[in-house]
Amino acid sequence: MDRTLSPEITQRTRNRRLWLGLLAGAAVVAATLWLRGALKTSVEAAKIRTAVAETGPVENTLTATGEVIPAFEQVLTSPIRASVKRVLLTPGATVKPGQPILELDKSLSEIEYERGKDKLALERNGIEQLRMKLNKELRDAEINDQIKLLNINRLKADLEDTRRLQRVGGKTAEDVVEAENKLRIAELEKKSLENGLGYNRESMGASLEQSKLEAQIEARNLQELAQKLKQADVLADRAGVLTWVNENIGTAVNEGDALAKLADLGSFRLEGSCSDVYVDQVKSGLPVVVKLADASLRGVIVQVKPSVQNGVVRFTVQLDDPRSSLLRPNLKTEVFIVTERSPKAVRVANGPAFKGKRRQSVFVLSADGRTARRREVEIGLSNFDFVELKSGVQPGEKVIVTDLSEYEHVEEITIEPAKN
């Protein structure tokens, strides 16, 4: 037998069913809204950017960086070991030929110069003493040689006397032999003295010449140091603008250390660098585009440094307009190296829609601008300004260059007018 439900239980059951129905309806509405969002088929005109396809040149480029450098920049170096005493001009100053830039403390080099003078004087005195000694020894040797000669002449006379006396019985054969031996010994002693005299003359002559040569070298060194001391007041030898000066007063500098840089700011070049990934593509003769704020300049690579340092390739660019008013010393720039060029390509302005692929799809506006249809295109050359479209788009058509990845599921989208 069925039991009758109380009115309270019946009401609770109805309420539960009502809530379940409301939840199910809400879920359906949410799913519908989500599906609509996921399957968007329209976009506001204000949210897209378009570009008109046109015929023109497109260049393929490699990205690099550059720094503007004066075409002529002279580095003034210290001629001596010294210290910075006084700075007369600072970077940015315009100088004339002969105008002093800074003054060096020359005291150390002046002391070195005085020591060199003393050393040269001692060497010259030593040369004179050596010459006097050589002359004395030569004179003594000549006198000894004359004495030996007199002794030989006496021994020859004694030998003749001994032989005469032997013939008359006054001397023996042994006496003759003894006289002959004495003469032979004296002649050998004279020969030895002459040989020694020749050796001493050559040896002492060589020593004298060496001392003279050393003195000449020291004299030249002193002359060079004197000239460097005159150059120690650093002067500009041409007109220009100072781009750098060693302003650290008291700083020690060695001979050859840089003191200042003097540049001609009427003309500039560019020093560029890029990753060594492009080492095989960066070559002399390639054109470049230099980006300067909202403008650009063109030039050509005239030198590629032979060595790669820290993964960087360095090169020098000669600018077509080296006197452009846009150029400033040490200005950092973007540099684009042109590796290929298509002179008559169908091109559009570059934008986020292009992902770097060779084939991709883009949206092309209809003639009335109310819709845009997806088209497959083949990408050719590209750079920071343009992308070459080798197929899929004709000159005059408008291409959406905004990234529309969220519409990749649809073939056509509606362009909604901008909302007020």
403 with 352: CB under 8 angstroms?
Answer: yes
The two tokens of residue 162 are 């001994």
What is the model's pLDDT at position 35? 45
What is the model's pLDDT at position 51? 94
290 with 233: CB under 8 angstroms?
Answer: no
What is the model's pLDDT at position 31? 46
Which DSSP letter does residue 268 get?
E
Q: Which amino acid is at 276?
A: D
Looking at the DSSP assignment, which residues form a beta bridge with residue 356? none
What is the model's pLDDT at position 12? 59
What is the model's pLDDT at position 163? 83
pTM of the model: 0.52
For helices 107-167 and 173-230, the axis angle rounded to 10 degrees is 170
What is the model's pLDDT at position 159? 78
Cα 301 to Cα 283: distance, rounded to the nearest angstrom: 7
Secondary structure (DSSP) of 127-152 = HHHHHHHHHHHHHHHHHHHHHHHHHH
Looking at the DSSP assignment, which residues form a beta bridge with residue 155? none
Q: Which amino acid is at 17?
A: R
Exposure on the CB side of residue 269, measured as CA atoms within 13 A = 14
CATH of 79-105+232-256, one of 2.40.50.100, 2.60.120.260, 3.60.130.10, 3.40.50.300: 2.40.50.100
What is the model's pLDDT at position 321? 93
Secondary structure (DSSP) of 32-74 = HHHHHHHT--EEEGGG--EEE-EEEEEEEEEEEEEEEEEEEEE
Task: Give the mean pLDDT per block of 10 residues along the chain (420 residues).
Answer: 52 60 55 49 90 93 92 84 86 89 75 71 74 77 80 82 81 82 81 74 72 75 70 80 88 87 89 92 93 89 93 94 89 92 93 91 93 94 90 95 91 85
Cα 347 to Cα 351: distance, rounded to the nearest angstrom: 12
What 3-state class would DSSP assign to 232?
Answer: coil
Q: φ, ψ for residue 380 (rounded to 5)?
A: -105, -125
Q: From the CB of residue 121, how many other CB atoms can be counted at a distance below 10 Å? A: 12
62 with 37: CB under 8 angstroms?
Answer: no
144 Cβ contact partners less than 8 Å away, ≥ 6 residues apart: 193
Q: From the CB of residue 215, how many other CB atoms can be counted at a distance below 10 Å? A: 19
Secondary structure (DSSP) of 338-407 = EEEEEEEEEEEE--TT--S-SEEEEEEE-TTSSEEEEEEEEEEEE-SSEEEEEES--TT-EEE-S--GGG
* CATH T-level assignment (fold) for domain 42-62+341-416: 2.40.420
